[in-house]
Amino acid sequence: MMKKLILHTFLFILLFIVVFECFQGLTSPIFSIRQFTADVKRVFTTPLSVSNTNDSISYNPNGDKILLNVNNIGFHSHIDFEPNELSKNYVLVGDSFVQSKICGTYNSIAYILDKKIDAKVFNFGIGGGNLNSYNDVYKTYNLKDAKLVFILITGTNDLVYKRQQKKIKESSLKIINLINQKLNGPQFYSQPNFKLFEPDLHNVVYLVHDNLTKNSLVKNGVSQPIIEIHIGDNYRFSDGHYTKEGNKLIANQIFKFLNQRN
């Protein structure tokens, strides 16, 4: 009797959620069928090759189709990286906000900015990256030779990672990788470490958003130019990443900075 009551209660709640979602569409993302469907599409759908291009099809958190492109050195970018062209072009470095795997390669900040200026914008977005990662990219690819390097810092979270001492060997088994990450994964500072900013990066411009401000960087001795970004929630997907319109606003701020500099 009790089992039947529990089953009927569960079925009633499930039916209520389905009907409410279909007719109102106002449920929270936790219970949103549309959001769940979009996430399933995005995560579990194997990217399909697009004829005659290097692009593949994926889905953003709203379930809309987007195009992704991986360039000649493995970064999500609309163009290949050409080291000998750095001196006359610009670079954008950051985490998944720059990578734009969620929003789409041709909706990225780098792509939008590239179309606004008479120069190329090379894109170095690292999903889950932090300031140590960005500094490594700067050194690895000799970005000191670029006209300017814009580094997007996603809040104080990017400043709490300690540099990893040893590289974790990847396993073919996901469970082994998860265990390794727990045992040998990232170590953190108890508070944001502003000493991670390297003072000798003379062609760097920092972009800060979320809970990090220009004033906090200046107070802690960062001497490079800083652009403070304020983008409302209406320009974000449900997972917090910026939409194409949000990326346009950031690209416009960089464009304005370049015009004022010239």
Q: How many CB atoms lie within 10 A of CB 18?
A: 12
User: What is the domain extent for residue 204?
Assistant: 77-261
Overall number of domains in the chain:
1
Q: Quick check: 217 and 204 in contact, CB under 8 A?
A: no
Instruction: Tell me the C-alpha distance between 20 and 68, whole Å.
Output: 34
Indicate which CATH number applies to the domain containing 92: 3.40.50
Residues paired with 208 in a beta bridge: 153, 228
Residue 19 located in a structural domain: no
Could you write out the DSSP letters of every residue in 33-91?
HHHHHHHHHHHHSPPEEPTTSS-EEEE-TTS-EEEE-B-TTS-B-SS---GGGGGGSEE
Asked if the structure places residue 69 within a domain, the reply is no
**Chain segment 246-260, per-residue pLDDT in tens:** 999 999 999 999 999
Query: Tens of pLDDT along 186-236?
Result: 788 999 999 999 999 999 999 999 999 999 999 999 999 999 999 999 999
Question: From residue 198, how far is each of 17, 187, 195 by CA, in Å?
Answer: 51, 20, 7
Give the pLDDT score at 185. 64
In a domain, 64, yes or no: no
The pair of three-digit structure tokens given for residue 228, joined into one six-digit string? 């403070």
Residue 234 lies in a domain: yes
Q: What does the pLDDT look like over 73-100, one tens digit per residue?
A: 999 999 999 999 999 999 999 999 999 9
Between CA 126 and CA 132, with CA 128 as vertex, the angle to 5 degrees is: 75
Q: Do the strands 148-154 and 121-125 form a parallel or antiparallel pair, or are they unpaired?
A: unpaired
In a domain, 115, yes or no: yes
